Every structure is written in structure tokens, then in C-alpha cells.
Amino acid sequence: MAVQDGTPGDPKDIEMTSMLDKKMSEEFDWSDSNLPIRDALWDYYMEKNNHSTDQTEKDMLPTLDMSDDDVKALATKLLKK
């Protein structure tokens, strides 16, 4: 966690509980992928954006502020086949 001046805290204090960090297969019964949701969305946007990292970063940025439910809904909308 960051301290009040914005500097990063001790890495061991960071919890990986964000929906973005959970495995696809753990959250969705329609997926057997072991990728984190973050990586699956990144891969989707990279393909969509013709492998433009700059555009993919722009597309991914809103997910950092989304609720868990919104991330799940987005992943379902974009990735469920």
C-alpha cells in the first residue's frame, strides 16, 4: 500500500485481491483459462488494437477503477464465446 506521500509501501503488504488478478477459470464457469482476468483483457485489447500497446493501455486504464462486478461484466461481454 502507498503511504500518504504517495511512495510505495512494503510489497509484502500488498494484497492481490482485485478481480483483475483472479484467474479466469476461478471466476467464470465458461472459461478454463488460468490467465488472470487482467491478462485476458489485455490480450483481447491487443488483438482488437492491432497490437498497439499505447491504445491497449488506454483501453485498460478504466478497468483499474472499476468495481469487481463491473470487471466481471466487462470480461463476460468481451471474452465469453
pLDDT in tens, 23-70: 999 999 999 999 999 999 999 999 999 999 999 999 999 998 899 999
- Torsion sign, CA atoms 5, 20, 62, 55: positive
pTM: 0.78
Helices 37-48, 53-60: axis angle to 10 degrees equals 130
pLDDT of residue 81: 86
DSSP lists the bridge partners of residue 36 as 23
Cα 75–36–73 angle (5° rounding)?
Answer: 15
Query: Residue 11: helix, strand or coil by DSSP?
Result: helix
pLDDT above 70: residue 4 = no
Look up residue 65 and give its three cell numbers: 477503477
